[in-house]
C-alpha cells in the first residue's frame, strides 16, 4: 500500500500481513466449513447460518441483548483472533474496523411491531444498542479491551471490502500494529426480503447463478467474516503464520444511480485501476479475480465489461463465491476477502457455482464446474454496492 505520491514518486507504506481469518456463513461455522462449501458446492434454498448460538459468545442473558449481526461480528472476529494466536499488542495500538449494510434490522422491525401492538412502554430499552450499526465493532473492541480506533463502515454491498481496506490502511500508515477488519449482516427479516423482492433484485427462481445467461437476481444471505491484519514486522517478530499480504485497495463512486451500476462499468474500472496503482502492480500481474458477481443481470454484465476493459479478454481466472454463499450485503466483501486468502493458501480457485451456461455477452475466463489448481499470485477482490460504492482489494501470496 502507498502512503501517497511525493515529488520523487510513490511513497510506500508498511507492509500488511494477514495472520488470522474467521467466518460465519451459510456453509457453517468457521473457515473450514466455508472452504468445503466453496470447493464442493451443493447448497440450495435459504442461505442462513446453521447451528449458531450467540450464547456461546455472550452467555444466555447478554445474548438476548445483542442483535444477530453483532453476534456474528464477534464470532467471526474471535475465530480470526484465535487463529492468529498471541498478538502481544498494546491496547492503544490495536483497533477494529467492521462493516454492515444496515445493522440490527431484525431488532428494529421486531420492536416496531411491539410498539404498534403493545404500546410505547413495552419497547425494549436495549433497542438502540442492539440496532445501531456500530454495535459489532464496539463489542469486538470491548471484549479485547482494545483502545485504538473502533469504527464502522456502512457502504452497502461494498462495506466489507471497504472495512478490510480501511483496517489495512491503519496498519500501513503506522497508526496501529494490529487491526481486525471484516463485516457482518443479519437482515433476512420478511420486511427486508419483501423490499428487495419488490425492487426485483432477488432471484425469483431462488437460485444464484453469477454470470450465467439464466441469472435472475441475487439470493440474500447472512453471516460474517474477519481478518486479523498486522504489520509485517510485528508478525515476523512473533513468529506468526502469514496467510497473505494486503498490498493495495481502491474506492470510488459511480455517481450514477442509487441501485443500478453504471452500465459501462466506469466506476468499477477506476476502482480496480486505483487498487492496482496502490499495490504498484500492472493488470498483467493479477493472477485471479474474486468478482462481486451477484447474479443480477445488470451487475454481472457491468462488472464483466469493467474487467474486460482493465484486463482484456478473457483475462485472469474469475470466480464468484455468491453462487454458494448468496449475497451477504455488508458482509459479502469480507467473506470474499477470506475466500481469496484461502484460495492463495490452498492453491485452488473455487468454481462459480450456478454458472453453467455463460452469458454470451461475458467474455471472461469464469472458473466453472470444479475448483481450479493454480500457482498463487496477486488476487483482486471486487465489491460494488447500492449507492454506486465501489471497493477493491489486492492480496498477495506471502513472500519474505
Contact status, residue 359 vs residue 213, Cβ threshold 8 Å: yes
Cα dihedral 34→38→42→48 (10° resolution)? 40
Cα–Cα distance measured from residue 11 to residue 26, given in angstroms and rounded to the nearest whole number: 41
Contact status, residue 362 vs residue 301, Cβ threshold 8 Å: yes
Per the structure block, which three cell numbers stand in for 169?
490502511
| 337: nearest Cα among 276, 247, 261, 277 | 247
Q: Burial of 279 by CB count in 10 Å (0-12 exposed, 13-18 middle, 19+ buried)?
A: buried
Place of cell 474506492: 251
Cα–Cα distance measured from residue 10 to residue 277, given in angstroms and rounded to the nearest whole number: 9
Per the structure block, which three cell numbers stand in for 314?
478473457
Q: At a CB cut-off of 8 Å and minimum separation 6, what does 112 contact?
A: none
Cα–Cα distance measured from residue 353 to residue 345, given in angstroms and rounded to the nearest whole number: 21
How crowded is the C-beta side of 25, counted as CA atoms within 13 Å? 33
Contact status, residue 249 vs residue 172, Cβ threshold 8 Å: no
Per the structure block, which three cell numbers stand in for 28?
457453517
Catalytic site positions? 157, 292, 327
- The separation between CA 169 and the C-alpha centre of its own chain, rounded to angstroms, equals 16
Amino acid at each position: 500500500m502507498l502512503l501517497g505520491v511525493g515529488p520523487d514518486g510513490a511513497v510506500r507504506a508498511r507492509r500488511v500481513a494477514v495472520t488470522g481469518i474467521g467466518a460465519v456463513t451459510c456453509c457453517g461455522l468457521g473457515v473450514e466449513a466455508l472452504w468445503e462449501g466453496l470447493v464442493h458446492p451443493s447448497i440450495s434454498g435459504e442461505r442462513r447460518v446453521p447451528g449458531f448460538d450467540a450464547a456461546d459468545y455472550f452467555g444466555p442473558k447478554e445474548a438476548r441483548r445483542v442483535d444477530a449481526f453483532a453476534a456474528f461480528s464477534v464470532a467471526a472476529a474471535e475465530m480470526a483472533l484465535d487463529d492468529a494466536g498471541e498478538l502481544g499488542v498494546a491496547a492503544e495500538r490495536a483497533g477494529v474496523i467492521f462493516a454492515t449494510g444496515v445493522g440490527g434490522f431484525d431488532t428494529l422491525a421486531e420492536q416496531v411491531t411491539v410498539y404498534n401492538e403493545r404500546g410505547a412502554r413495552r419497547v425494549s430499552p436495549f433497542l438502540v444498542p442492539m440496532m445501531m450499526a456500530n454495535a459489532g465493532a464496539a463489542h469486538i473492541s470491548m471484549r479485547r479491551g482494545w483502545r485504538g480506533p473502533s469504527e464502522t463502515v456502512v457502504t452497502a454491498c461494498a462495506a466489507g471490502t471497504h472495512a478490510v481496506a480501511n483496517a489495512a490502511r491503519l496498519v500501513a500508515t503506522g497508526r496501529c500494529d494490529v487491526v481486525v477488519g471484516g463485516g457482518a449482516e443479519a437482515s433476512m427479516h420478511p420486511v427486508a426480503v419483501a423490499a428487495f423482492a419488490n425492487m426485483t433484485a432477488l432471484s425469483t427462481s431462488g437460485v444464484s447463478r453469477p454470470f450465467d445467461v439464466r441469472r435472475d437476481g441475487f439470493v440474500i444471505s447472512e453471516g460474517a467474516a474477519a481478518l486479523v491484519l498486522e504489520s509485517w514486522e510485528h508478525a515476523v517478530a512473533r513468529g506468526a503464520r502469514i496467510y497473505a499480504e494486503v498490498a493495495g485497495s481502491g474506492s470510488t463512486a459511480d455517481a450514477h444511480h442509487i441501485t443500478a451500476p453504471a452500465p459501462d462499468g466506469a466506476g468499477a474500472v477506476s476502482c480496480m485501476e486505483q487498487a492496482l496503482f496502490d499495490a504498484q502492480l500492472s493488470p498483467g500481474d493479477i493472477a485471479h479475480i474474486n468478482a462481486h458477481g451477484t447474479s443480477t443481470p445488470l451487475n454481472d454484465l457491468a462488472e464483466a465489461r469493467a474487467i474486460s476493459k482493465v484486463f482484456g479478454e478473457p483475462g485472469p481466472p474469475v470466480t464468484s463465491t455468491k453462487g454458494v454463499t448468496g449475497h451477504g450485503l455488508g458482509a459479502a466483501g469480507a467473506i470474499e476477502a477470506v475466500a481469496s486468502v484461502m484460495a492463495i493458501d490452498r492453491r485452488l480457485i473455487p468454481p462459480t457455482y450456478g454458472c453453467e451456461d455463460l452469458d454470451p455477452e461475458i467474455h471472461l475466463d469464469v472458473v466453472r464446474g470444479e475448483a481450479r489448481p493454480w500457482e498463487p499470485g496477486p488476487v483482486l477482490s471486487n465489491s460494488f454496492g447500492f449507492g454506486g460504492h465501489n471497493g477493491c482489494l489486492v492480496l498477495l501470496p506471502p513472500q519474505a
